[in-house]
Amino acid sequence: MEILGTTLRICVEDLESSVAFYERLAGATAQRFERGGVSVAAIGCFLLMSGPEKEIEILRKVSATIAVENVDEAYAVLNASGAKVVAGPIATPAGRNLIAMHPDGTVFEYVDRRTES
């Protein structure tokens, strides 16, 4: 499994003021979408999230998002290596993903950008 990159997940109270700061910091324009009542802004290597506390509380448990070429391959490697896949793989607006807990208890999201046929 090749790791293509990582995205830092940041839960914020005020998405608009946070977006302005991270756009200046990253020198990039935010790509925005909503999922499950949570507003999301992707800016460079940062993924800002804001929404109801019940949803944000769950999102805070995921340390980072790891981009991979193929989520199915990541699923197989993670399982063979002692990680526990707790959700997915499933299709999302940004690609397919899964959530896995590593043996040390750290939780990561793995995503690919493959399109469903």
* Domain coordinates in residue numbering, the chain: 3-111
- Reported as a single tens digit per residue, the pLDDT across 53-94 is 988 988 899 999 999 999 999 999 999 999 999 999 998 777
Which architecture, in CATH terms, is 3-111? Answer: Roll (3.10)
Q: Omega before 89 cis (within 30°)?
A: yes
pTM score, whole prediction:
0.79
pLDDT digits (tens, 9 = 90+) for 8-36: 999 999 999 899 999 999 999 999 988 77
Q: Residue 40: its pLDDT value, please?
A: 92
- What is d(CA 75, CA 98) in angstroms, rounded to the nearest whole number? 8
C-alpha to C-alpha distance for 42 and 82, rounded to whole angstroms: 30
| 115 pLDDT more than 90 | no
